[in-house]
Amino acid sequence: MERKQKRRLRRIILAAALFAAVLAVDRLGVLPAVFTNRYYAMALYLAPYLLCGTPVLRKAVLGVKNRQPFDECFLMTVATVGAFATAENAEAVAVMLFYQVGEWFQDYAVGRSRGSVKALMEIVPTFARVERIGAVETVEPDEVAVGDVLVIRPGERIPVDGTVLSGESWLDTSALTGESVPRRAGEGTGVVSGCINGEGLLRVRCDKVFEDSAVSRILALVEEAAEKKSATEQFITRFARHYTPAVVFSALALALVPPIFGGAWSTWIYRACAFLVISCPCALVISVPLAFFGGIGAASRCGVLVKGSNYLELLARLDTVVSDKTGTLTKGQFKVSAILCAKDVSRMDLLAAVSAAESGSTHPIAQAILRDAAEEGIVPPAAQEVQNHAGSGVTALVSGETVLVGSEAFLEQAGISCTAEVPEGVTVCHAARNGVYLGAVCISDAVKDEAPQAIRALRRQGVRRMVMLTGDRAPAALAVARTLGVDEVYARLLPGDKVAKVEELLATLPAGGRLAFIGDGINDAPVLRRADVGIAMGSLGSDAAIEAADVVIMDDDLRRLPRVMEIARRTVTVSRQNIVFALAVKAAVLIISAAGLATMWTAVFADVGVAVLCILNAMRLLSAHRTVDKDSPERL
């Protein structure tokens, strides 16, 4: 590409120099004998014309031969040949020359943005160090087999997905997730390809071959994203298909009809040629896809994969955001949220009694209590005669005293009244010892720290309705909804109910509004597919979610969503600006040229100038990440 561009540029410069020389001699009248002869003059001007225009002429001929004649090359060929025919030699060369300059610039711009998107994805490891029979060999990443042991030195990129066998280090995951805080890796941690190893030396067992590793999958996604066309892009393609023939026939009519009624042939052919040059659709055809490509690039730079231009367009128009609760808005991890002690009972005493009774249990609630006790430095005393009463509680003998832990009903059955005032929306474990009430431990799933902020930012981006769906009980769901400021909550839903609910919500959308569903990717695949935009969270490594979702937030941070909405809206705005601007300028100049007020020179500038401006406008998106959410204090 690079070499080809340089070669083209050299030809353009050479042709321009030659053209300038011929033009100077012509205008200064140094060689009147040559330039007054029409054929000699044309021959001299043909030299720079052919030098820069041969590829265009060849393509135009090829297009006619393949029965697909109506493209830019055809327009330019007809216009310039027409100009030569009407003895406007200088104009003919200028049109071809400027057209080639515009084309070259387009090519350069596309190359630049392609390069910058590729740079975002500069996560491809180039080698792997494999331990083989005592020696370490350096091989290509795709030669690593599952089960191979890899050595990753400090500063090196992890070549394939795997598990750490030994060593301790920090991993820089920013290339994959946009997250700048490094992630810790130690024995047993799963590591993802594309991350950069920090200070320590790691030995990693390969779990997935290179092709199935995160890096390869992400690259494939980004490449395919450009293939799913947005409605705007499809409109432009369809538009160009009808537009170009329409323009050619209008030009033909402009050249033929007025002379029949007494106009001069040369004047009207000249005007028709100018008309053809102006109407060339290249500004639209290149700048709209370029805008979407830039938008996808900007989104992936902040850690969000948008799987197609069409989704970018939908994200710009989100009206309703439906979210799963556990794992998306909440951490999906039970935690002790309050410890309520009865009179004359110490916190330590209560926790020790409860944790002792629960010490043998693997239930998530028991685990949460044990974790909390361990954090407070409590070693649970040994418990004997532990009896589990399915679903309601536990009895145990701790240091010779009978401890009861369980629901309110369970304790009341034993004749103990629970006096603690328990907040709503939490799971409660009451406790009693030797018939005396000790207090209660409240457990809840904590709301993610960034979730309320993310929801506020979403509203600023124009989301009108926030809905939470959950399989959880209503009180717990309501408590979470209140902290978050969600508009509607639907609790106790089975996965199938979620699809039905989303369908209901889709039916109530206002015209033009779109619905997004955010889930953590587990069991959510049908809902993700059903929503206009399916958004999966924290899915690095979860194949099902990456498959089903349209947008993947690479780390768990919900706040990336409003940023991407902003990028999406900018992309849509820029592509609309380009369409409106290009069409308006062209329409204006077309009318002027048909009326005979525009020269071929104006026409060339209307065409190439508009294309260049549109491309520059589209390229602004590549730097979009720096200007997002500037006036908000909650900037990431």
- Which candidate, 321, 331, 315, 319, places its Cα nearest to that of 468? 321
3-state secondary structure of 426: coil
Minimum CB separation of residue 227 from other proteins in Å reads 6
Q: Which residues pair with 249 in a beta bridge?
A: none
3-state secondary structure of 18: helix
**Which residue's CB is nearer to other proteins, number 117 or number 404?**
117
CB atoms within 10 A of CB 30: 10
Q: Is the separation of the CB atoms in 282 and 611 below 8 Å?
A: yes
Minimum CB separation of residue 115 from other proteins in Å reads 11
136-142 long-range contacts, CB within 8 A, separation 24+: 141/193, 141/210, 142/209, 142/210, 142/211
**Which residue's CB is nearer to other proteins, number 279 or number 461?**
279
Q: Which residues pair with 331 in a beta bridge?
A: none
Q: Which residue has the tokens 């011929």?
A: 22
Please state whether beta strands 318-324 and 465-469 pair in parallel, antiparallel, or not at all (unpaired): parallel
- Which candidate, 28, 98, 234, 6, places its Cα nearest to that of 610? 98
**Which residue's CB is nearer to other proteins, number 72 or number 91?**
72
Give strand ranges (E) for 219-317.
304-306
CA pair distance 488, 497, nearest whole angstrom: 16
**Which residue's CB is nearer to other proteins, number 55 or number 154?**
55
Minimum CB separation of residue 226 from other proteins in Å reads 4
Minimum CB separation of residue 582 from other proteins in Å reads 16
CA pair distance 99, 106, nearest whole angstrom: 11
**Which residue's CB is nearer to other proteins, number 110 or number 369?**
110
Minimum CB separation of residue 224 from other proteins in Å reads 8
3-state secondary structure of 345: coil
Q: What is the distance between the terminal CA atoms of the chain, rounded to a whole angstrom? A: 37
**Which residue's CB is nearer to other proteins, number 4 or number 184?**
4
Catalytic residue (one of 161, 324, 372, 557): 324
Helix 451-460 to helix 560-594 angle, to the nearest 10 degrees? 20
**Which residue's CB is nearer to other proteins, number 71 or number 487?**
71
CA pair distance 463, 1, nearest whole angstrom: 43
Q: Is the separation of the CB atoms in 441 and 337 below 8 Å?
A: no
Q: What six digits make up the tokens of 404?
A: 């009861």
Minimum CB separation of residue 106 from other proteins in Å reads 8
**CA distances (Å), origin 562, targets 302, 355, 636:** 11, 42, 11
Minimum CB separation of residue 254 from other proteins in Å reads 25
Q: What six digits make up the tokens of 41?
A: 């003059």
> Is 324 annotated as catalytic?
yes
**Which residue's CB is nearer to other proteins, number 77 or number 326?**
77
CA pair distance 531, 39, nearest whole angstrom: 67
Backbone angles phi, psi at 528, to 5 degrees: -60, -40
Please give the residue ranges that form the binding site for other proteins (CB under 8 A). 1, 58-59, 62, 66, 68, 71-72, 107, 110, 114, 117, 223-224, 226-227, 237, 240, 285-286, 289, 293
**Which residue's CB is nearer to other proteins, number 68 or number 392?**
68
Please, is 582 exposed, middle or buried when counting C-beta atoms within 10 Å of its C-beta (0-12, 13-18, 19+)? buried
Q: Is the separation of the CB atoms in 340 and 422 below 8 Å?
A: yes
CA pair distance 35, 50, nearest whole angstrom: 19
**Which residue's CB is nearer to other proteins, number 114 or number 460?**
114
CB atoms within 10 A of CB 459: 16
CA pair distance 279, 78, nearest whole angstrom: 13
Minimum CB separation of residue 220 from other proteins in Å reads 8
CA pair distance 33, 43, nearest whole angstrom: 14
Minimum CB separation of residue 1 from other proteins in Å reads 7
**CA distances (Å), origin 172, targets 51, 181, 200, 392, 539:** 52, 7, 12, 45, 17
List alpha helices for 308-384, DSSP H. Answer: 309-315, 347-358, 364-375
Minimum CB separation of residue 76 from other proteins in Å reads 14
Minimum CB separation of residue 112 from other proteins in Å reads 12
**Which residue's CB is nearer to other proteins, number 96 or number 432?**
96
CA pair distance 442, 425, nearest whole angstrom: 10
Active site residues: 324
